[in-house]
Structure formats: structure tokens, C-alpha cells
């Protein structure tokens, strides 16, 4: 029984996303002409969707997909980030024995491969890294392979961008390069994904990307999808030990909305715990996270209070709390960075990361009143 259960819990559902897959497929089928910024709350399925899409496309066309997860790359080198680190983000010296260049299509979790000589030249400023990347793209195109470069978790660069003048310049230069190879020379598709809409917007504005990029939003699942999932657990999650009634499903929707990882968490918990208790615990956990985040900072409390009355808010909606605009901006930025709030860069709207956070905020204020 125990072993059995473990297996069932491991099955990861994938629900719908037909429209998103279709939209992104159209983007890839067109000639590269703009940078695509995929934004959406944390765990809204951006990375999963990109993997799904390129796994499908790879079977149909010759692609070279470089998938760079910046969070994994940057953590060790954030503090004194310099040009050498920047190069390490994109290039990898390949071992001598593999020197003969053979271009093959596929999804690569990783970097541009170069030989030691080129690296040395780049470090000495004799060779331009952007030219090296561009040449790789040209080679691929000449071999009828479509190059795609994906930078996932762009927000991992925020510390470098905000605190390091050199870092900021390099990142802006990188975006200029992206404009050149999309809008100007149509060489490669560039996709940037991030759950920090605030940072995306900052980079977007600083790099003057208005006419050379497009935002695409990935949100949590809609109600119809969630109901379809929860009322067909065996089908989507291979759960045979229990089924959910319409009423149970509604309760789950009411607690976490379409947030997939929270739904998965709840489904796992339901093997052992009755539904009402599971959902109460779920809300309590977020309430405690909010409590911990606020600590003794009454300004944070004032900002979050706005969401008792409003589902979404613009920056001016926080002003009546008596805090100065600059300070509000800083607080909101911190809340977005801490994944308490989401900032939608196309609408300039702030709102809690999903339904469970709305509950958490509500319960926090109930507990202190
Ligand atoms: N279409 C989907 N249906 C069900 N679960 C999904 C779906 N897409 C993603 N998930 C799950 O949601 C969680 C977060 O997905 P992820 O792609 O990492 O989000 P993001 O990259 O936006 O932070 C993962 O546990 C993933 O398995
Ligand atoms: Mg992701």
C-alpha cells in the first residue's frame, strides 16, 4: 500500500494549455521579428509549457533550442559579477576531443560551445561575444536548423542589474543584441520568461524595447480546466483511491483557484486528511507566510491592507495609506520579488499571487483585529 501510494503521488498532471501551445507555435513558425517576454505569477506553468512546446516541435522541425535557466546559473556569482561571469552565462569551452564542429538539432539545456582559443580572445577583448553568438546562429540557419534561445527566470539577474553598473550595462547590451538578431536580422527566436513582472518591465523600459518585443501572459488554470481535472482524477493524476464531488472541487477552486502546484499539494494531502481540514491548513499556511513576511513592518501591513477591498490595485491606490510614493514603490517591488504580489507589466496592476494569497491576507487581518 505504501509503495503504491508513492507511485500515484508522483504522477504529474498536464491540463489543457491548447491555446497557449497554439499561440507560441505561431510565434515560432513566423520569421523572428521580436523578442517574446513570457510573464505570469510564480508557478503558473511557464517553464512546463516551454518544455512541452519544444518537445512537440522538435518532432516536426529541425530546431536548436538553447534553454538557459538563469536562476541555476547566477546564484553562485551574483555579488561581484563581472565580464568573465557574463561570458560564463553563455559560453562553455568544449573539450579538445570534440573539437570537430557538428551541428545537430535538439533541445540543449546549456550554453554555446566554443573552443579555448575563442574564450581567451573574448576575455582579452579581442573577440566580441555577441559576434560569436551571431555566427553560431548563422551556421545553424545555413544548416536549415532554426535557432531558439530561451532565458528562463530572468529575474535572477535583478541583483546584478540593480547593484552593479557593469552588470547593468552588459544586460542592456545583451538586449540590444537580441533586438539585432530578431527585429533586424531575423536570425533566431528569443524567448524570455520571468515571474517578476516588475523586473521585466524595468529591463524592457531601460532597453527601449517597445517596438521590438511583445509580452505574453501565462496565468494559472481557469475554472473550467480545474473542474475537468478534479472531477477526473484517475484520468489526469492517476488517482484511484478517491474521487471528488462537484462540491469538493468547488471548495478547492475557492481556496487556491487554478494554481497547479497547490492543487497537486492538496491532492497528495487528501490521501491522508479530510478535505475541509486540508483546505483550512492550506489557507493557514499562507496566512503564516504573510505574517512572517510583514513581521513588525507596519508599512507592509498598510500596503497589503489595500487588497482587503480590492482584488487588483494600481500604484496610486496605495497612496491613501499615508506612505510616500517612492517608499510604496520600494515596498511593492519587494513584495513582487518575494512572490507575495504579482505585477502585470502590460496593465501596470498589482495583485496577490493567486487565491490562496488573497485568503492569507484576509486571515492575517482577521487575526490582528
Ligand atoms: N498545464 C498544467 N497542468 C497541471 N499542472 C501544471 C501545468 N503546467 C504546470 N504545472 C505544474 O505547475 C507547477 C509549476 O510549473 P512551472 O512550469 O514550474 O511554473 P513557472 O515556470 O511558471 O514558475 C509544476 O508543479 C508543474 O508540474
Ligand atoms: Mg519556471
Domain residue limits, the chain: 2-13+221-272, 18-217, 287-368
How high is the pLDDT of residue 85?
82
The mean per-residue pLDDT over the stretch 16-40 comes to 96
The mean per-residue pLDDT over the stretch 346-353 comes to 95
Per-residue pLDDT band for 102 (boundaries 50, 70, 90) equals: low
Task: Return mean pLDDT, the chain.
Answer: 90
The set of cell numbers assigned to 100 is 570537430
**In this prediction, what percent of the chain has a pLDDT beyond 90?**
71
Ranges 162-166, 167-171, 287-291, most confident: 287-291
Cα 208 to Cα 53, 168, 176, 185, 216: the distances in Å are 29, 14, 9, 18, 18
Q: Which DSSP string corresponds to 186-248?
A: ---EEEEEES-HHHHHHHHHHTT-GGGEEEEE--PPPHHHHHHHHTTHHHHH---S----HHH
Reference 195, options 143, 243, 156, 234; nearest CA is 156
Which ligand has its closest atom nearest to the C-alpha of 42?
1
Residue nearest (by alpha carbon) to ligand 1 atom 20 = 43
Determine if ligand 1 sits within 6 Å of the CB of residue 43: yes
Residues 122/132, Cβ–Cβ less than 8 Å:
yes
Q: CATH second-level architecture of 287-368?
A: Orthogonal Bundle (1.10)
Determine if ligand 1 sits within 6 Å of the CB of residue 21: no
Q: Which fold would CATH assign to domain 18-217?
A: Rossmann fold (3.40.50)
- The CA distance from 25 to 56, in Å, is 10
How high is the pLDDT of residue 79?
67
Give the ligand 1 atom nearest the CA of 193: 21
3-state SS class at 93: strand
Ligand 1 centroid from CA 180, angstroms: 32
Ligand 1 centroid from CA 258, angstroms: 11
Q: Which of 185-189, 201-205, 225-229 has the lowest mean pLDDT?
A: 201-205
Determine if ligand 1 sits within 6 Å of the CB of residue 283: no
The mean per-residue pLDDT over the stretch 102-120 comes to 75
Q: Is 109 exposed, middle or buried (0-12, 13-18, 19+ CB in 10 A)?
A: exposed
Which ligand has its closest atom nearest to the C-alpha of 51?
1
How high is the pLDDT of residue 77?
60
Reference 103, options 148, 136, 131; nearest CA is 136
Name the residue of 72, 150, 221, 260 to mutate for ligand 1: max ligand atoms within 8 A of Cβ. 260
The mean per-residue pLDDT over the stretch 261-279 comes to 97
Determine if ligand 1 sits within 6 Å of the CB of residue 46: yes
Determine if ligand 1 sits within 6 Å of the CB of residue 14: yes
pLDDT higher than 80, residue 73:
no
Strand pairing class (341-344; 63-69): unpaired
pLDDT higher than 90, residue 319:
no
328 vs 6, higher pLDDT: 328
355 vs 11, higher pLDDT: 355
Global confidence as pTM:
0.91
3-state SS class at 105: coil
Per-residue pLDDT band for 234 (boundaries 50, 70, 90) equals: very high
- The CA distance from 146 to 155, in Å, is 26
- The CA distance from 66 to 190, in Å, is 10
Ligand 1 centroid from CA 194, angstroms: 13
How high is the pLDDT of residue 109?
63
Cβ within 8 Å of residue 47, ≥6 positions away: 152, 193
Give the ligand 1 atom nearest the CA of 14: 3
pLDDT per position as a tens digit, 306-318? 999 999 999 999 9
Amino acid at each position: 500500500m505504501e509503495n503504491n501510494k508513492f507511485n500515484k503521488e508522483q504522477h504529474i498532471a498536464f491540463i489543457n494549455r491548447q491555446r497557449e501551445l497554439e499561440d507560441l507555435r505561431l510565434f515560432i513558425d513566423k520569421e523572428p521579428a521580436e523578442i517574446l517576454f513570457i510573464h505570469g505569477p510564480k508557478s503558473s506553468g511557464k517553464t512546463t509549457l516551454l518544455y512541452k512546446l519544444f518537445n512537440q516541435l522538435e518532432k516536426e522541425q529541425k530546431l536548436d533550442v538553447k534553454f538557459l535557466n538563469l536562476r541555476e546559473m547566477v546564484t553562485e556569482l551574483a555579488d561581484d559579477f563581472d565580464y568573465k561571469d557574463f561570458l560564463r552565462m553563455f559560453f562553455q569551452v568544449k573539450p579538445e576531443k570534440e573539437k570537430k564542429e557538428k551541428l545537430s538539432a535538439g533541445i540543449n539545456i546549456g550554453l554555446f560551445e566554443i573552443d579555448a582559443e575563442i574564450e581567451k580572445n573574448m576575455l582579452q577583448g579581442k573577440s566580441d561575444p555577441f559576434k560569436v553568438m551571431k555566427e553560431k546562429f548563422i551556421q545553424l540557419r545555413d544548416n536549415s536548423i532554426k535557432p531558439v534561445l530561451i532565458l528562463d527566470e530572468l529575474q535572477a539577474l535583478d541583483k546584478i542589474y540593480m547593484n552593479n553598473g557593469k552588470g547593468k550595462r552588459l544586460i542592456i547590451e545583451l538586449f540590444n543584441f537580441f533586438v539585432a538578431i530578431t527585429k533586424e536580422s531575423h536570425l533566431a527566436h528569443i524567448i524570455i520568461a520571468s515571474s517578476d513582472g516588475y523586473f521585466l518591465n524595468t529591463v524592457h523600459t531601460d532597453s527601449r524595447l517597445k517596438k521590438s518585443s511583445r509580452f505574453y501572459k501565462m496565468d494559472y488554470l481557469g475554472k473550467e480546466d480545474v473542474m475537468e481535472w478534479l472531477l477526473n482524477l484517475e484520468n489526469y493524476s492517476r488517482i484511484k483511491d478517491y474521487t471528488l464531488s462537484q462540491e469538493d472541487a468547488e471548495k478547492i477552486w475557492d481556496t487556491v483557484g487554478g494554481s497547479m502546484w497547490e492543487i497537486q499539494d492538496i491532492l497528495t494531502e487528501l490521501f491522508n486528511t479530510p478535505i475541509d481540514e486540508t483546505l483550512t491548513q492550506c489557507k493557514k499556511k499562507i496566512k503564516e507566510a504573510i505574517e512572517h513576511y510583514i513581521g513588525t513592518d507596519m508599512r507592509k501591513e498598510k500596503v497589503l491592507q489595500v487588497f482587503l477591498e480590492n482584488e487588483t490595485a494600481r500604484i496610486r491606490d496605495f497612496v491613501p495609506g499615508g506612505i510616500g510614493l517612492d517608499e510604496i514603490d520600494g515596498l511593492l517591488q519587494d513584495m513582487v520579488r518575494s512572490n507575495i504580489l504579482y505585477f502585470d507589466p502590460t496593465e501596470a496592476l498589482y495583485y496577490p499571487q493567486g487565491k490562496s494569497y488573497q485568503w492569507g491576507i484576509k486571515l492575517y487581518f482577521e487575526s490582528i483585529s
